[in-house]
Amino acid sequence: MTITKEIDFRSLRALQTIADTGSFRAAAVELGYTQSAISHQVATLEAAVGKQLLTRPGGRGRVQLTAAGEAVARRGRRALSQLEAIAADVEELERGERVVIRVGVSQTSAAEVMPHALRTFHDEHPSAEVILTEMSDDEASVGALVRGRVDLAFTHGPRPDDRVEAVPIVNDPWVILVREDDPVTLVEDPGFEVLDRVDVVAWTRRWNIQVELEQAWARLGIAPRIVYRTDDNLALQRLVAAGLGRACVGYLTARRAVDPALTWLQPSGQFSERRIYLCSSTLRAAPPSVAALASAIRAQASGRFTPAVPAPGIVES
């Protein structure tokens, strides 16, 4: 196929933003255009490549990329990244100093999302310094963004806040981490009830996500015996590998368990959708270097983290 019409960066950015936000309206708000302008940009891009790039379900359904749209979006992210790299290089020269970008992370995002994104980012911005700071919960991440202490932050489910833009980048559903020789691995279609009245290793309650998880268990009548708590992801996995209990963790943590004795089970239901979001402040314009890192993170997440499990059901709790 030969592309005979010019493709502009606005059309590519419109496609990327629709894919990230799931709607033309949200993309228009984020980019500062009218919804009709966004529609026109996508139509222009579709005419240029001669393919439909988006499926439009109507109503409140999420707009999805077609197979052709996935291909254009993948290449488009790289092109936009190059454009942002040019702007970031100019920024560094104008400032005459090393660019420092601060990112609020969880242990999961620091270990599973950032390394590949940083490798891509570093290839284009070798002189930039990126500082990763662990955040205790979503509230702390939002607070750090608003106060300007970090430039970007990861969260699991931020409350609506006009001061923060939150873009979902990857699904991270709850799974059950166990030893491979645990009898529960023989249970067909296990649910969260396999944690009821058995020894469980958990996060400490200073993490809000652990508090919410225990509240959800209680609403469903599930009463695990929490015998050990830790703040450390590695320690939690080692405790489970030692046979000291089962654990409830995110898919991204379980998929790369540190001990070969470990495996994970996908429960038959979920308490709620669990996603990782990349957040930025709406109170100040992001410098080109920050925008470039955000693009690298989104590109790496979309390319690497399609969970190898079916979409989980939702348990009403």
The amino acid at 167: V
Q: Where are the beta strands (DSSP E) in the chain?
A: 54-55, 64-65, 100-105, 129-134, 152-155, 164-171, 174-179, 199-203, 225-230, 247-250, 262-265, 275-281
How far apart are alpha carbons 294 and 307 in whole angstroms? 21
87 DSSP assignment: H
Superfamily name with CATH number, domain 174-265: Periplasmic binding protein-like II (3.40.190.10)
Secondary-structure class of domain 98-171+272-317 per CATH: alpha beta
Q: Which pLDDT value is given to residue 72?
A: 86
243: alpha, beta or left, given left = phi > 0 and alpha = psi -120 to 50? left
Q: Do the domains at 1-95 and 98-171+272-317 have one common CATH topology? A: no
**Residue 26 phi/psi, 5° resolution?**
-65, -35
Domain borders along the chain are 1-95, 98-171+272-317, 174-265
Q: Which of 111-125, 157-171, 213-227, 292-306 has the lowest mean pLDDT?
A: 292-306
| Other Cβ atoms within 10 Å of 156 Cβ, number | 19
Q: CB of 120 within 8 A of CB of 300?
A: yes
Q: CB of 293 within 8 A of CB of 301?
A: no
pLDDT (tens digit per residue) in 108-130 = 899 889 999 999 899 888 888 99
CATH 1.10.10.10 correct for 1-95: yes
SS3 123: helix
Residue pointed to by tokens 């709406």: 282
Q: What's the gap between Cα 38 and its chain centre?
A: 24
pLDDT at 209 over 50: yes
**Side-chain-side CA neighbours of residue 138 (13 Å):** 19
| pLDDT grade for 317, boundaries at 50, 70 and 90 | very low
How far apart are alpha carbons 168 and 271 in whole angstroms? 18
pLDDT at 95 over 80: no
Inter-helix orientation angle 288-304/67-95, to 10° = 150
Q: Which pLDDT value is given to residue 264?
A: 94
Q: Which pLDDT value is given to residue 51?
A: 87
How far apart are alpha carbons 102 and 307 in whole angstroms? 28
How far apart are alpha carbons 44 and 37 in whole angstroms? 10
The model's pTM is 0.66
81: alpha, beta or left, given left = phi > 0 and alpha = psi -120 to 50? alpha
pLDDT (tens digit per residue) in 255-264 = 888 899 999 9
